[in-house]
Amino acid sequence: MQSTSDRKKTLNQLYQICRVGMEASELILPETTGWGLRSQIKKQDENYINTSEKAAAMIKLQGTEPHSISNVTRRMMCGSIKINTFFHHSPQRISEMMINGSVMGIISMTKTMNHLEDCDLETKKLAENYVETEKQNIQALKQYL
Protein backbone atom coordinates (compact mmCIF):
# COMPACT_ATOMS: atom_id res chain seq x y z
CA MET A 1 0.00 0.00 0.00
CA GLN A 2 1.27 3.45 -0.93
CA SER A 3 1.95 5.84 1.89
CA THR A 4 1.11 9.47 1.18
CA SER A 5 3.22 10.46 4.18
CA ASP A 6 6.30 8.68 2.81
CA ARG A 7 5.77 10.30 -0.56
CA LYS A 8 5.54 13.77 0.96
CA LYS A 9 8.63 13.20 3.12
CA THR A 10 10.66 11.99 0.17
CA LEU A 11 9.52 14.79 -2.13
CA ASN A 12 10.11 17.46 0.51
CA GLN A 13 13.58 16.09 1.25
CA LEU A 14 14.40 16.06 -2.46
CA TYR A 15 13.01 19.58 -2.89
CA GLN A 16 15.12 20.91 -0.01
CA ILE A 17 18.30 19.15 -1.18
CA CYS A 18 17.89 20.60 -4.67
CA ARG A 19 17.19 24.07 -3.32
CA VAL A 20 20.38 23.94 -1.22
CA GLY A 21 22.32 22.71 -4.27
CA MET A 22 20.83 25.43 -6.43
CA GLU A 23 21.61 28.21 -3.95
CA ALA A 24 25.14 26.88 -3.36
CA SER A 25 25.79 26.70 -7.11
CA GLU A 26 24.61 30.25 -7.57
CA LEU A 27 26.85 31.47 -4.73
CA ILE A 28 29.90 29.61 -6.03
CA LEU A 29 29.49 30.55 -9.69
CA PRO A 30 30.75 34.17 -9.35
CA GLU A 31 33.92 32.83 -7.67
CA THR A 32 34.54 30.30 -10.42
CA THR A 33 37.09 30.79 -13.18
CA GLY A 34 37.48 28.63 -16.24
CA TRP A 35 34.83 28.05 -18.85
CA GLY A 36 34.59 24.27 -18.37
CA LEU A 37 34.02 24.37 -14.62
CA ARG A 38 31.58 27.27 -14.91
CA SER A 39 29.67 25.32 -17.54
CA GLN A 40 29.51 22.24 -15.29
CA ILE A 41 28.23 24.28 -12.33
CA LYS A 42 25.59 25.94 -14.53
CA LYS A 43 24.49 22.50 -15.72
CA GLN A 44 24.20 21.29 -12.13
CA ASP A 45 22.24 24.41 -11.21
CA GLU A 46 19.78 23.73 -14.05
CA ASN A 47 19.38 20.14 -12.86
CA TYR A 48 18.70 21.32 -9.31
CA ILE A 49 16.11 23.81 -10.56
CA ASN A 50 14.36 21.24 -12.77
CA THR A 51 14.29 18.54 -10.09
CA SER A 52 13.08 20.93 -7.38
CA GLU A 53 10.31 22.17 -9.70
CA LYS A 54 9.21 18.59 -10.41
CA ALA A 55 9.22 17.73 -6.71
CA ALA A 56 7.30 20.94 -5.87
CA ALA A 57 4.68 20.20 -8.53
CA MET A 58 4.21 16.67 -7.17
CA ILE A 59 3.85 18.02 -3.63
CA LYS A 60 1.31 20.63 -4.75
CA LEU A 61 -0.74 17.90 -6.44
CA GLN A 62 -1.24 16.50 -2.95
CA GLY A 63 -2.67 19.80 -1.76
CA THR A 64 0.33 21.06 0.23
CA GLU A 65 3.26 23.36 -0.31
CA PRO A 66 6.92 22.26 -0.34
CA HIS A 67 8.97 22.92 2.81
CA SER A 68 11.59 25.56 2.19
CA ILE A 69 15.08 25.38 3.61
CA SER A 70 15.49 27.20 6.92
CA ASN A 71 17.12 30.59 7.17
CA VAL A 72 19.68 29.09 9.55
CA THR A 73 20.67 26.49 6.95
CA ARG A 74 20.79 29.15 4.27
CA ARG A 75 22.99 31.46 6.37
CA MET A 76 25.34 28.64 7.39
CA MET A 77 25.75 27.55 3.78
CA CYS A 78 26.36 31.11 2.58
CA GLY A 79 28.91 31.74 5.33
CA SER A 80 30.69 28.47 4.66
CA ILE A 81 30.97 29.19 0.93
CA LYS A 82 32.28 32.70 1.56
CA ILE A 83 34.85 31.47 4.07
CA ASN A 84 35.99 28.60 1.85
CA THR A 85 36.36 30.77 -1.26
CA PHE A 86 37.66 34.01 0.26
CA PHE A 87 41.37 33.28 -0.08
CA HIS A 88 41.36 30.11 -2.12
CA HIS A 89 38.99 30.01 -5.07
CA SER A 90 40.99 27.93 -7.54
CA PRO A 91 39.16 25.52 -9.84
CA GLN A 92 40.47 22.67 -7.67
CA ARG A 93 38.95 24.17 -4.51
CA ILE A 94 35.63 24.99 -6.19
CA SER A 95 35.45 21.50 -7.67
CA GLU A 96 36.16 19.95 -4.27
CA MET A 97 33.40 22.02 -2.66
CA MET A 98 30.91 21.03 -5.37
CA ILE A 99 31.85 17.35 -5.03
CA ASN A 100 31.42 17.52 -1.24
CA GLY A 101 27.99 19.11 -1.69
CA SER A 102 26.95 16.44 -4.18
CA VAL A 103 28.11 13.68 -1.82
CA MET A 104 26.11 15.21 1.05
CA GLY A 105 23.02 15.33 -1.19
CA ILE A 106 23.48 11.69 -2.24
CA ILE A 107 23.86 10.57 1.37
CA SER A 108 20.82 12.50 2.54
CA MET A 109 18.60 11.30 -0.29
CA THR A 110 19.80 7.69 0.03
CA LYS A 111 19.04 7.70 3.77
CA THR A 112 15.56 9.02 3.04
CA MET A 113 14.92 6.40 0.36
CA ASN A 114 16.21 3.58 2.59
CA HIS A 115 13.93 4.52 5.50
CA LEU A 116 10.74 5.21 3.56
CA GLU A 117 9.78 2.00 1.83
CA ASP A 118 6.20 2.80 0.86
CA CYS A 119 6.84 5.45 -1.76
CA ASP A 120 5.18 5.33 -5.13
CA LEU A 121 7.17 4.50 -8.25
CA GLU A 122 7.11 8.05 -9.65
CA THR A 123 8.62 9.50 -6.46
CA LYS A 124 11.25 6.77 -6.20
CA LYS A 125 12.21 7.30 -9.83
CA LEU A 126 12.64 11.05 -9.34
CA ALA A 127 14.79 10.48 -6.24
CA GLU A 128 16.86 7.80 -7.98
CA ASN A 129 17.37 10.08 -10.99
CA TYR A 130 18.63 12.79 -8.64
CA VAL A 131 21.16 10.39 -7.08
CA GLU A 132 22.36 9.16 -10.49
CA THR A 133 22.69 12.71 -11.81
CA GLU A 134 24.76 13.68 -8.77
CA LYS A 135 27.05 10.69 -9.34
CA GLN A 136 27.56 11.87 -12.92
CA ASN A 137 28.24 15.40 -11.66
CA ILE A 138 30.94 14.07 -9.34
CA GLN A 139 32.61 12.25 -12.22
CA ALA A 140 32.52 15.40 -14.35
CA LEU A 141 33.97 17.53 -11.52
CA LYS A 142 36.87 15.17 -10.81
CA GLN A 143 38.79 16.48 -13.82
CA TYR A 144 39.11 19.89 -12.10
CA LEU A 145 40.70 18.52 -8.91
The three state secondary structure string of 17-69 is HHHHHHHHHHHHHHHCCCHHHHHHHHHHHHHHHHHHHHHHHHHHHCCCCCCCC
- Residue 110: DSSP 8-state: H
| Nearest by Cα to 101 from 65, 126, 123, 73 | 73
Catalogue all structural domains in the chain, each as residue range(s) with its CATH number.
Answer: 4-142 (1.20.1260.10)
Query: What is the distance between the alpha carbons of residues 2 and 127, in angstroms, rounded to a whole number?
Result: 16
Residues of the chain scoring pLDDT < 70: 1-3
Can you give the pTM of this predicted structure?
Answer: 0.90
Q: Report pLDDT digits (tens) over 17-43.
A: 999 999 999 999 998 989 999 999 999
Phi, psi torsion values for 2, nearest 5 degrees: -75, 140
